[in-house]
């Protein structure tokens, strides 16, 4: 594993890396459909996830014009409602904003605060501008700047999203560290010349045996210690 050094700016993925998206969405689905048991909630969550992932992939591949996460989440919420027999418009509308009320992992808030004392710290998320604003406030995430892929009308791993972070950082890509719990996200950053660090979470996309990242960490505390203890 290469030593992580000569870093000027640290960029974090948000969904899954700093906030627990699956648990948050499951909780919101359970609130919307209180009669559902665990198996039903899991099925509805999988339905939501499949729709969101498929539509973002279609946009990345050029098969659908850009639509932000507010639109895609509203579509996913309607699919869940149709499947569950939910008809109340207010409940469906609240479910559509579930991604704005996710909770942080236990080390996220303190880790960002520690790191921000020594580095400029950016968030880089596929969440829309509005969703990211409200999610940051709800989860207590503090950034020097939070960037939405909506600014470039694309979704990670499209290269223009990582270029947005590099341009905002204002330094060479090899001095910008991308942190994520998703190996696919880090591969996208690597393709733009960024440094990469994988942080393990209970959910995410673990590296394969062929992935070579600059660092792999069991949690955010270990990453922050490695970056600040020099």
Amino acid 2: pLDDT: 44
- Residue spans of the domains in the chain: they are 9-20+102-228, 21-100
* Domains 9-20+102-228 and 21-100 agree in fold: no
pTM, whole model, 2 decimals?
0.94
Residue 187's pLDDT band (boundaries 50, 70, 90)?
Answer: very high
Residue 3's pLDDT band (boundaries 50, 70, 90)?
Answer: low
Amino acid 182: pLDDT: 97
pLDDT in tens, 18-63: 999 999 999 999 999 998 899 999 999 999 999 999 999 999 999 9
pLDDT in tens, 86-99: 999 999 999 999 99
Amino acid 185: pLDDT: 98
- Going by C-alpha positions, the residue among 206, 196, 200, 190 that lies closest to residue 157 is 190
- Going by C-alpha positions, the residue among 230, 68, 223 that lies closest to residue 150 is 68
Say whether domain 9-20+102-228 belongs to CATH 3.40.50.1000.
yes
Amino acid 1: pLDDT: 39
Per-residue pLDDT at 4 exceeds 50: yes
pLDDT in tens, 130-181: 999 999 999 999 999 999 999 999 999 999 999 999 999 999 999 999 999 9
Say whether domain 21-100 belongs to CATH 3.60.21.
no
Compute the mean pLDDT over every residue in the chain, rounded to the nearest whole number: 95
């Amino acid at each position: 594993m290469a030593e992580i050094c000569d870093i000027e700016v640290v960029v974090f993925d948000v969904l899954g890396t700093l906030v627990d998206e699956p648990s948050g969405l499951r909780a919101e689905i359970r609130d919307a459909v209180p009669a559902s048991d665990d198996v039903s909630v899991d099925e509805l969550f999988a339905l939501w996830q499949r729709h969101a992932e498929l539509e973002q992939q279609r946009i990345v591949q050029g098969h659908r014009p850009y639509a932000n996460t507010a639109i895609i989440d509203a579509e996913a919420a309607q699919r869940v409602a149709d499947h569950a027999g939910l008809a109340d418009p207010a409940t469906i509308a609240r479910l559509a904003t579930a991604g704005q009320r996710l909770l942080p992992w236990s080390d996220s808030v303190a880790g960002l605060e520690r790191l921000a004392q020594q580095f400029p710290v950016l968030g880089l998320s596929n969440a829309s501008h509005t969703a990211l604003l409200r999610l940051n406030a709800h989860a207590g995430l503090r950034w020097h700047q939070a960037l939405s892929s909506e600014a470039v009308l694309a979704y990670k791993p499209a290269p223009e999203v990582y270029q947005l972070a590099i341009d905002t950082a204002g330094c060479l890509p090899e001095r910008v560290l991308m942190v994520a719990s998703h190996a696919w996200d880090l591969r996208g950053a690597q393709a733009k010349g960024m440094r990469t660090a994988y942080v393990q979470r209970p959910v995410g996309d673990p590296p394969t045996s062929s992935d070579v990242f600059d660092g792999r960490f069991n949690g955010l505390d270990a990453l922050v210690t490695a970056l600040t203890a020099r």
